[in-house]
């Protein structure tokens, strides 16, 4: 278990590599060879993460005695762990917790395979800061969820590092680019293993800064810097929620320790419901900004101004899921706050679902391939949030896991495409690239299928669990969420097909001669594509595996990653796998593809998708007399899907949300000018100066007493004397 206790090494390595690259990169290593440092560091990180992941599985499989929370002696055990943190009311902890955990097992993942409650590995290092004699430690918090994210971040970051050596070769700021990749990785890893909510905030902000720096990587062009600023400021808005929410948590539990907070809630559900509701709402704002949820998502598409690998790493796979991760990490807060267990609709689920919907809709309206993918990311993140909103914790994390891979693959694919097609991302300037760049094409298609959720690709399994989760819910299901989910499933398949059509099919509409990217770019693509196929295997439902007698391997993510030690206390239940739901989901995805296919390939496509080259030939003929085909199929698809939803969503998005964000800034500045001009310089400063002038002029006036005529002086003297005399004689 050494690795789990010393997990701090994992973020430390990239941090060091950041320093090395930034300060010694140019001079000692050579501007064009700094990537060596970064890649080596990430390799190390990957290995360590793998070790950590393995050790965690060991811990779950045959836990050391001190790791187990005996369901029966639930309360007492916690009593020992957390000292006086919640020394009171063990009794009802005991009852409630054990009861819940009981039925948690009952309907738990099919095979009734019960896992003991494993406590996370928490190691604290130094007194970070202190107050009122209490010192607050900095430390690491490692459990299944952590190691899962460690693996995701390490793998994708590593691949992106490799991919970038080609993609940003010869860039004017190659050194800074790699420095910030390292810094970002460090920050992200620091974030995922945060032991207390302060660390969460720190990591949260640091990744934000890295994203700012990398979006604005080419800061000579104003649009890039605008995008960077927009991203940062939008996130700052969310951070208000983050700060306040965390403060409310602190105020309620008087501790920053995540483990303690979670335990306190799970051992005594229902207490401080209101405080938790406030906290959850505030934190939701933070999630909305960081994970691109409605209505703070508008920065994400602009963020595509950054280099494509960055988009793949930060704005698809890792940073943007920080919000989701935080919800999962502090799940008891949200579970109690939004009373997910009992409601059938709640803020988080709705925001998630709605975001998924508009995201998917907007994806139709884009011509920029990266923006399509960006909106797709928004939509998928919405999925995850929705999943968490309906209580499907595992589904959300599972989807996070799979999505990371295929979305990264898609982005890198897009990058590879633009690399070939003269650095454009406009799909109208592409087309027919599949011949010129087969590897990119295949990997792209695979990941698209995964994203669309086609059996047996990874996305299928995770999306299925989400739909299932919203169908079953906890005490009662989430019908609206189910509808949203299904609609999104259909639309996702549809717009991805559209992208594939415009990018790879038809004939090349750009200029120059496109070419396949070199191996250093395609190999990562293939690895990711592979994961896009296999990632689903990590949480296969029991029934699927029974035939091959591997049911022992079912629900690995649920088994390893889910922090049952907290969730059981909440009485979180897991739905039984349902074949029908899976079929419905699959059907939706397929029909989505089908409709789009019809839209672009004409009805002949109805015969099936197997023989590609024929439809390709059809494709040319279609393009010749495109007009009436459009006219024909507009009635079918566009009128039903694109116009109403996408156009409306797009208009709303651009004219309302986006403008609000931008004008907010402008108005702030105008207000500033006004206040400065009138209040500050006018009223406050003015009054002071006026007083000064008043003193001056009164001095001038008083000088007239000094007429220079001695007799006036005498009159003044005697007059004053007389007046004083009279006054005093009368008064005194």
Partner 1 sequence: MEALLAFSRPALDWHALAPELTLLAFGTLITVVDIIWDDRSKRAMPTLAGIGLLASLLPILTLAVDGSERTMFGGAYVVDDFSLVLKALFLISGYVVILMSVDYIRDGDYYENEYYTLMLTSLLGMVMMSSSRDLISVFVALELLSIPAYMLAAWRKGGARSNEAGLKYYLMGVFASAVMLYGMSLVYGLAGSTAFEAIAQELGSGESNPVAILGILFILIGFAFKVSAVPFHTWAPDTYEGAPTPVTAFLAVASKTAGMVALIQLVFVAFPGRDDVVQPFFWLIAALTMTIGNLIALRQNNIVRLLAYSGVAQGGFMLVPFAVAADAPARAIEAVVIYMAIYAFMNLGAFTVVLAVARKTRSGEIDSYGGLFQYAPGLAVAMTIFLAALAGIPPAGGWFAKFGLFRALLDAGGGWAAGLGVVVAVNTVIAFAYYARILVQMWFQSVPDGDERPIAIPGSLKAALAVTIIATMAFGVLPGLVGHFGEVSVLSALGG
Partner 2 sequence: MLLNQFLILGAVLFSVGVYGVLARRNGVMVLMSIELMLNAVNINLVVFGVQHGVVSGQVFALFVIAVAAAEVGVGLAIVLLLYRNRTSIDVEDFDLMRG
Partner 3 sequence: MEVTGFDTWVLSLAVFLPLVGALVIMLIPKVYETELKLVALGSSLVALVVGIYIAIQFDYGAAGDLQFVVDKGWIDVINSRYIVGLDGLSLPLLLLSLVVVPLCLIYSWNHIPDPGNPKAFFVLLLILSTGMNGSFVAQDMILFFVFFEIVLLPMYFLIGVWGGEDRRYASLKFFLYTLFGSALMIISFLALFFLSKDASGELLQTFDMRVLTDAAGVGIIKSTQVWIFAGLFMGFGIKVPMFPFHTWLPDAHTQAPTVGSVILAAVLLKLGTYGFVRIAIPFLPEGAIAWAPWIGLLAVIGIIYGALGCLAQKDMKRLIAFSSVAHMGFVMLGIATLTDFGINAAVFGMIAHGLITGMLFFVAGSVKERYHTLEISRLGGLLKSAPRMGWILGFASMASLGLPGLAGFWGEFPAILSAYNPGAGLSEELFRVYMVIAAIGTVLAAGYLLWLYQRTAFGEPTEEFAGHEIADVNRDEWIAWTPFLIGIVLFGVWPNLIFNVTDDVVSGITASVEAIAAGN
Q: Which structure tokens are listed for 356?
A: 């998924």
Q: Which does 695 bind (CB under 5 to 8 A by kind): partner 3, partner 2, partner 1, none?
A: partner 1
- Compute the distance between CA of residue 53 and CA of residue 275 in angstroms, rounded to an integer: 35
Q: What is the CA radius of gyration of the chain?
A: 31
Rounded alpha-carbon distances, angstroms, from residue 110 to 106, 459, 464, 478: 9, 21, 16, 21
Should residue 718 be labelled a site residue for partner 1 when binding is judged by CB under 8 A?
A: yes
Q: Which does 671 bind (CB under 5 to 8 A by kind): partner 3, partner 1, partner 2, none?
A: partner 3
- Compute the distance between CA of residue 269 and CA of residue 250 in angstroms, rounded to an integer: 17
Which residue lies nearer to partner 2 by CB, 676 or 718?
Answer: 718
Give the footprint of partner 2 on this chain (CB under 8 A): 703-704, 706-711, 714-715, 718
Q: Which does 219 bind (CB under 5 to 8 A by kind): partner 1, partner 3, partner 2, none?
A: partner 3
Taking alpha carbons only, the member of 153, 158, 154, 152 closest to residue 38 is 158
Which residue lies nearer to partner 2 by CB, 626 or 709?
Answer: 709
Should residue 717 be labelled a site residue for partner 1 when binding is judged by CB under 8 A?
A: yes
Half-sphere CA count of 172, side-chain side, radius 13 A? 4
Should residue 660 be labelled a site residue for partner 1 when binding is judged by CB under 8 A?
A: no
Which residue lies nearer to partner 1 by CB, 548 or 702?
Answer: 702
* Alpha helix stretches (DSSP H) within 313-392: 322-329, 331-337, 347-365, 369-389
Taking alpha carbons only, the member of 450, 543, 533, 446 closest to residue 489 is 450
CB neighbours (10 Å) of residue 516?
18
Q: Which structure tokens are listed for 707?
A: 């007429």
- Compute the distance between CA of residue 198 and CA of residue 329 in angstroms, rounded to an integer: 13
CB of residue 328 to partner 3, shortest distance in Å: 21
CB of residue 697 to partner 1, shortest distance in Å: 9
Which residue lies nearer to partner 1 by CB, 656 or 725?
Answer: 725
Which residue lies nearer to partner 3 by CB, 194 or 557?
Answer: 194
Identified binder of partner 3 from the candidate list 676, 697, 698, 714, rule CB under 8 A: 676
CB of residue 325 to partner 1, shortest distance in Å: 59
Q: Do residues 405 and 531 lie in contact, with contact meaning Cβ atoms separated by under 8 Å? A: yes
Should residue 724 be labelled a site residue for partner 1 when binding is judged by CB under 8 A?
A: yes
Q: How many residues interact with partner 1 (rule CB under 8 A)?
A: 25
Which residue lies nearer to partner 1 by CB, 579 or 720?
Answer: 720
Residues 197-216 that bind partner 3 (CB under 8 A): 198, 201-202, 204-206, 209, 216
Cross-strand bridge partners of residue 181: none
- Taking CB under 8 A as the binding criterion, the range among 167-175, 289-297, 391-399, 695-703 that sits at the site for partner 1 is 695-703
Find how far residue 120's CA is from the centre of its chain. 23
Q: Which does 639 bind (CB under 5 to 8 A by kind): partner 3, partner 1, partner 2, none?
A: none
Taking alpha carbons only, the member of 565, 324, 528, 507 closest to residue 413 is 528
Which residue lies nearer to partner 2 by CB, 438 or 719?
Answer: 719
CB of residue 379 to partner 3, shortest distance in Å: 27
Q: Which structure tokens are listed for 460?
A: 């299928």
Q: Which structure tokens are listed for 288?
A: 């909305």
- Taking CB under 8 A as the binding criterion, the range among 30-38, 126-134, 505-513, 517-525 that sits at the site for partner 3 is 126-134
Please give the torsion angle defined by the CA atoms of residues 707, 713, 719 and 720, in that order, rounded to the nearest 10 degrees.
90
Should residue 174 be labelled a site residue for partner 3 when binding is judged by CB under 8 A?
A: no
Q: Which does 728 bind (CB under 5 to 8 A by kind): partner 2, partner 3, partner 1, none?
A: partner 1
CB of residue 668 to partner 3, shortest distance in Å: 6
CB of residue 685 to partner 1, shortest distance in Å: 17
Should residue 247 be labelled a site residue for partner 1 when binding is judged by CB under 8 A?
A: no
Q: What does 224-289 look like in DSSP terms, one character per residue?
A: HHHHHHHHHHHHHHHHHHHHHHHHHHHHHHS--BHHHHHHHHHHSTTTTHHHHHHHHHHHHHHHHH
Cross-strand bridge partners of residue 121: 142
Should residue 692 be labelled a site residue for partner 1 when binding is judged by CB under 8 A?
A: yes
Identified binder of partner 3 from the candidate list 672, 694, 714, 719, rule CB under 8 A: 672
Should residue 126 be labelled a site residue for partner 3 when binding is judged by CB under 8 A?
A: yes
Please give the torsion angle defined by the CA atoms of residues 413, 219, 28 and 159, in that order, rounded to the nearest 10 degrees.
-20
Identified binder of partner 3 from the candidate list 636, 680, 718, 721, rule CB under 8 A: 680
Local structure of 392: helix, strand or coil: coil
Should residue 548 be labelled a site residue for partner 1 when binding is judged by CB under 8 A?
A: no
- Taking CB under 8 A as the binding criterion, the range among 129-137, 530-538, 540-548, 653-661 that sits at the site for partner 3 is 129-137
CB of residue 683 to partner 1, shortest distance in Å: 21
Which residue lies nearer to partner 1 by CB, 72 or 712?
Answer: 712
Q: Which does 698 bind (CB under 5 to 8 A by kind): partner 1, partner 2, partner 3, none?
A: partner 1
Query: What is the number of H-type helices and E-type strands within the chain?
Result: 34, 4
Should residue 700 be labelled a site residue for partner 1 when binding is judged by CB under 8 A?
A: yes
Which residue lies nearer to partner 1 by CB, 479 or 719?
Answer: 719
- Compute the distance between CA of residue 231 and CA of residue 213 in angstroms, rounded to an integer: 10
- Compute the distance between CA of residue 695 and CA of residue 688 in angstroms, rounded to an integer: 11
- Taking CB under 8 A as the binding criterion, the range among 29-37, 344-352, 509-517, 661-669 that sits at the site for partner 3 is 661-669
H or E stretch at 32: none
Give me the phi and psi of 145, to 5 degrees please. -55, -45
Q: Which structure tokens are listed for 664?
A: 């907010």
Q: Which structure tokens are listed for 676?
A: 């400065």
State in Å, rounded, how far the first CA of the chain is from the last one.
94
Residues that bind partner 3 (CB under 8 A): 126-133, 135, 198, 201-202, 204-206, 209, 216, 219-220, 222, 225-226, 229, 232-233, 236-237, 239-240, 243-244, 247-248, 250-251, 665, 668-669, 671-677, 679-680, 684-685, 688
Residues that bind partner 1 (CB under 8 A): 692, 695-696, 698-700, 702-703, 705-706, 708, 710, 712-714, 716-718, 720-721, 724-725, 728-729, 732
């Amino acid at each position: 278990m050494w690795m789990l206790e010393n997990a701090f090494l994992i973020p430390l390595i990239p941090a060091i590599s950041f320093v090395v690259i930034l300060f010694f990169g140019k001079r000692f290593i050579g501007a064009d060879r700094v990537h060596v440092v970064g890649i080596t560091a990430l390799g190390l990180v990957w290995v360590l993460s793998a070790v950590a992941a393995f050790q965690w599985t060991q811990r779950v499989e045959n836990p050391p005695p001190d790791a187990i929370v005996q369901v029966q002696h639930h309360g007492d055990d916690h009593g020992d762990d957390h000292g006086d943190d919640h020394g009171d009311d063990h009794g009802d902890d005991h009852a409630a917790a054990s009861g819940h955990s009981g039925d948690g097992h009952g309907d738990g993942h099919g095979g009734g395979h019960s896992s003991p409650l494993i406590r996370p590995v928490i190691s604290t290092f130094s007194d970070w800061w202190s107050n009122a004699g209490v010192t607050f430690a900095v430390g690491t918090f490692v459990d299944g969820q952590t190691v899962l994210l460690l693996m995701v971040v390490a793998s994708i970051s590593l691949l992106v590092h490799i991919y970038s050596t080609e993609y940003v070769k010869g860039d004017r700021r190659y050194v800074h680019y790699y420095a910030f990749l390292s810094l970002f990785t460090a920050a992200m890893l620091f974030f995922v293993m945060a032991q207390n909510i302060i660390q969460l905030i720190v990591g949260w902000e640091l990744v934000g800064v890295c994203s700012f720096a990398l979006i604005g990587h080419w800061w000579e062009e104003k649009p890039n810097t605008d995008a960077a600023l927009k991203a940062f400021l939008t996130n700052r808005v969310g951070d208000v929620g983050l700060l306040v929410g965390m403060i409310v948590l602190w105020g309620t539990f008087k501790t920053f320790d995540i483990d303690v907070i979670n335990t306190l809630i799970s051992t005594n559900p229902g207490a401080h419901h209101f405080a938790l509701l406030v906290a959850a709402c505030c934190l939701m704002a933070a999630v909305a900004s960081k994970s691109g949820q409605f209505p703070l998502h508008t920065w994400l598409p602009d963020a595509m101004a950054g280099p494509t690998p960055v988009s793949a790493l930060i704005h698809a796979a890792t940073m943007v899921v920080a919000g989701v991760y935080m919800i999962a990490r502090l799940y008891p807060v949200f579970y109690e706050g939004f009373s997910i267990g009992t409601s059938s609709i709640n803020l988080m689920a709705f925001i998630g679902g709605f975001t998924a919907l508009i995201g998917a809709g907007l994806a139709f309206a884009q011509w920029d391939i990266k923006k399509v993918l960006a909106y797709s990311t928004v939509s998928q993140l919405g999925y995850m949030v929705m999943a968490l909103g309906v209580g499907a914790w595992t589904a959300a994390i599972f989807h996070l896991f799979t999505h990371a891979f295929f979305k990264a693959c898609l982005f890198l694919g897009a990058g590879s495409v633009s690399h070939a097609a003269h650095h454009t991302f406009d799909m109208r300037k592409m087309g027919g690239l599949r011949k010129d760049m087969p590897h990119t094409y295949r990997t792209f298609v695979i990941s698209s299928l995964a994203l669309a959720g086609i059996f047996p690709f990874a996305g299928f399994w995770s999306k299925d669990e989400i739909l299932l989760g919203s169908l079953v819910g906890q005490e009662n299901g989430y019908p609206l969420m189910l509808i949203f989910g299904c609609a999104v499933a259909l639309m996702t398949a549809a717009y991805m097909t559209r992208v594939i059509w415009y990018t790879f099919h038809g004939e090349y509409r750009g200029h120059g001669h496109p070419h396949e990217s070199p191996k250093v770019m395609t190999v990562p693509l293939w690895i990711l594509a592979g994961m896009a196929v296999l990632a689903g295997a990590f949480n296969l439902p029991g029934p699927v595996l029974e035939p091959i007698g591997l049911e022992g391997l079912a629900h690995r993510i649920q088994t390893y990653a889910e922090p049952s030690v907290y969730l059981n206390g909440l009485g979180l239940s897991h739905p039984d796998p349902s074949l029908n739901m899976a079929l419905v989901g699959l059907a939706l995805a397929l029909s989505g593809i089908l409709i789009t296919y019809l839209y672009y390939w004409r009805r002949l496509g109805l015969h099936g998708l197997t023989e590609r080259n024929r439809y390709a030939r059809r494709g040319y003929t279609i393009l010749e007399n495109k007009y009436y085909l459009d006219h024909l199929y507009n009635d079918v698809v566009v009128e039903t899907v694109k116009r109403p939803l996408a156009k409306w969503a797009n208009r709303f998005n651009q004219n309302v949300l986006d403008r609000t964000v931008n004008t907010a800034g402008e108005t702030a500045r105008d207000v500033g000018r006004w206040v400065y001009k009138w209040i500050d310089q006018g009223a406050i400063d003015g009054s002071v100066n006026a007083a000064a002038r008043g003193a001056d002029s009164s001095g001038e006036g008083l000088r007239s007493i000094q007429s220079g005529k001695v007799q006036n002086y005498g009159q003044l003297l005697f007059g004053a004397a007389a007046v004083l005399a009279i006054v005093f004689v009368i008064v005194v």
